[in-house]
Amino acid sequence: MEMVLEFILALLPIIWLIVALTFMKLPGFKACTIALVIAYALAVIVWKMPIGNSITAIVEGAALALWPIIIVIIAAIFTYNVCVHTGKMEVIKRMLAGVTNDKRVLVLIIAWGFGGFMEGMAGFGTAVAIPASMLWGLGFNPVFAAIVCLIANATPTAFGSIGIPTTTLAKITGLEVIGLSTNTVIILAPLIVLTPFILVLLTGKGKKALKGIWLITFISGMSFLVTEYVVSKFLGAELPVVIGSVCSMLCTIWAAKTFGQKEIDPEFRLGEIDKKGVSGKEALVAWSPFILIFIFLVSTSKIIPPLNELLASVKTTVNIYSGEGADPYTFSWLATPGLWIIIAAIIGGKIQGASLKEIFNIFGKTVIQLYKTIITIVCIMATAKIMGYSGMIPSISIVFVTVTGSFYPLFAPILGAIGTFVTGSGTSASVLFGGLQVETANALNFNQAWIAASNTAGAITAKMISPQNIAIAVAAVNLQGKESDLIKGTIKHFILFLVIVGIVTFIGAKLLGLS
């Protein structure tokens, strides 16, 4: 009885978030602040956590949130804001739209390829807002534009914002990031191939849409998958979606030019597109911040060990949490993607013609723009640390072990989906349930890295129905009051994705020798 009571009490911060964000419709930063208060009170009163330990747990969570997670978010949104300010985002839009007037191919390039690129670089809504507004601007129905971008945004979320959901999961669980990354790609492999087909079917409103384009669609998905797997296996979590999306866009464009229909069915043909050409120099200038980010992140990654090790040596290690069971926290000052993205944005902004004063003003406005997001992530990270160190997460894990037993892998992704639905963030889902997944996997003798990866795989499925993401899509295409239309258009795909992820996780854990 005591175990059940502790299970219910440990779930209260999560139940509060569900109620606050879905029924009460409180903003995330308010809901997460109250969740932290609830978790703190429970940890101290019920789990008898010493006051000193509880405070230092919050401080450690805040430190983890600010560096490196929040610095990456600020850096990525800053880069996008610079491109908008200089007008080069319009050039990028014109380049993408000028490839073809086949609506199906455009959806693959913009929603799937470019959307994946924006998720990999920035995440946190930009991968829905930017492609959806682009499709709408090209003449697509706004509801359709929002729905396909919500669906396309699912699988890239695992490595969004330069891999933050997966790198955060690695930090929370103490597991090795390469193993988590490759396992996540393996679990998501069916969805990565399937998503482009779903997008094409939605574009053409039926199976007839695949006529003459199925091979292009297959190439679009497979090029993304193969590249994502290779990069995750050899470089880690930072670049799989960034490089995978670029390869997918290039391969999709090549396939469309090579295998595309000369005469496009009028039903799939877009209206007039701006044919104004873009010179090579203009293209380089427009893409310069993103090119520099790519170069900097590859150069400072483990692909060049001497430089990576040199940068990693500039660090500060401190003991933040005062209780037992915590490793010292290390601030890596130079070996962090956020710093290099900011530098790339500044240099790229100068190349695009902005003055340093303008660039720094944009940076300041970006920080102000994201202050609610910063509060949300700090609070959710602190809540996770409190729940982990106090024993609340193990209390939840024990009941899950008891109830699900050997079938746990089938249900493990559901926790990740709940986390993303509640918070709108794959990163927050990693924080909320990463520790629980590892505790349960350990208790049931499953491979910890496989089960932990299933949390991320499950988390991505709920991106398309998350109230936060729905709100972003509504704002991007001016559909205020039409939220229910978007949920109706995505809910069945969410269920399909979650079922597939659960089955793959179960097969991997039970039949492929991973237990």
For residues 112 and 150, the answer to whether their CB atoms sit within 8 Å is no
Cα 369 → chain centroid: 19
Residue 314, pLDDT score: 93
Helix (H) or strand (E) holding 329: strand 329-332
- Residues paired with residue 316 on neighbouring β-strands, in sequence order: 331
Q: Residue 224 is which amino acid? A: F
Q: Mark out the alpha helices in 275-370 (DSSP H runs).
A: 280-299, 305-312, 337-351, 356-369
Cα 89 → chain centroid: 22
- Residues paired with residue 269 on neighbouring β-strands, in sequence order: 102
- pLDDT tens-place values along the chain, 515 residues long: 678 899 899 999 888 887 887 778 788 788 889 999 999 999 999 999 999 999 999 999 999 888 877 888 788 888 888 998 999 988 887 787 677 878 899 999 999 999 999 888 767 677 888 888 888 877 789 999 999 999 999 999 999 888 889 998 998 888 999 999 999 999 999 999 999 999 999 998 888 888 889 999 999 999 999 999 999 999 889 889 999 999 999 999 999 988 877 777 777 777 665 656 788 899 999 999 989 988 888 788 767 889 988 998 999 999 999 887 777 888 889 988 889 989 999 999 999 999 999 999 999 999 998 888 888 888 988 988 898 899 888 888 778 778 887 889 998 998 888 888 867 778 888 887 888 888 888 888 888 999 999 999 999 999 998 877 887 788 778 776 677 788 888 989 999 999 999 999 999 988 755 44
Distance CA 127, CA 73 (A): 13
Residue 124, pLDDT score: 66
Torsion of CA 477, 480, 481, 484, to 10 degrees: 40
- Give residue-wise pLDDT tens across range 292-345: 988 888 788 767 889 988 998 999 999 999 887 777 888 889 988 889 989 999
- Residues paired with residue 315 on neighbouring β-strands, in sequence order: 332
Residue 274, pLDDT score: 60
